[in-house]
Amino acid sequence: MPKWLTTFFSLIVLSLLAALTLPVQAQGSVVFSSVDVSILPEYDQPSVLVIYDFLVPQTAPLPLDVTIRIPEKADLLAVAYLDSGNFINANYDNSQVAGGWRSIRFTIENPVGYRIEYYDELQKDGATRTYRYEWAGDAEVQRFQLTFQQPRGAKNTKTNPDLGTGNMNAEGLTEYGTQFTNLQNGQGLSLDIQYEKNNDDLTITGSNVQPATPLTTDPVGLNFNSLLPWILGGVGALLIVGGIVYFRMTGQQTEAPLRKRHVPRQTDEPGEGSIYCHECGKRAQSSDRFCRTCGTRLRN
> Residue 298, exposed/middle/buried by CB under 10 A (0-12, 13-18, 19+)?
middle
pLDDT value at residue 237? 74
Report the percent of the chain where pLDDT is more than 70.
69
- Residues across the chain: 300
Average pLDDT over all residues of the chain? 80
- In the beta sheet, which residues pair with residue 141? 32, 183
pLDDT band at 15 (very low <50, low <70, confident <90, very high): low
Across 137-141, average pLDDT:
97
To the nearest 10°, the Cα dihedral for 272, 275, 278, 280? -110
Count CB-CB contacts under 10 A for residue 35: 21
pLDDT value at residue 239? 74
Assess whether the previous peptide bond of 71 is cis (omega < 30° from 0): no
pLDDT value at residue 209? 40
Whole-number Å distance between alpha carbons of 47 and 122: 5
pLDDT band at 231 (very low <50, low <70, confident <90, very high): confident
- Structural domains of the chain, with CATH: 27-221 (2.60.40)
To the nearest 10°, the Cα dihedral for 131, 40, 108, 214? 160
> Residue 104, exposed/middle/buried by CB under 10 A (0-12, 13-18, 19+)?
buried
Whole-number Å distance between alpha carbons of 276 and 279: 9
Q: Name the residue among 224, 200, 55, 59 with its Cα closest to residue 142.
A: 55
CA-only gyration radius of the chain, Å: 39
The secondary structure element, H or E, covering residue 273 is none
Residue 48 pLDDT > 90 = yes
Q: Name the residue among 49, 61, 33 with its Cα closest to residue 204.
A: 49
With contact defined as beta carbons under 8 Å apart, do 166 and 172 qualify?
A: no
pLDDT value at residue 20? 44
pLDDT value at residue 211? 45
Three-state DSSP at 14 gives: helix
With contact defined as beta carbons under 8 Å apart, do 162 and 148 qualify?
A: no
Across 171-190, average pLDDT:
96
Q: Name the residue among 226, 220, 221 with its Cα closest to residue 119.
A: 220
Q: Cite the DSSP H helix spans in 60-218.
A: none
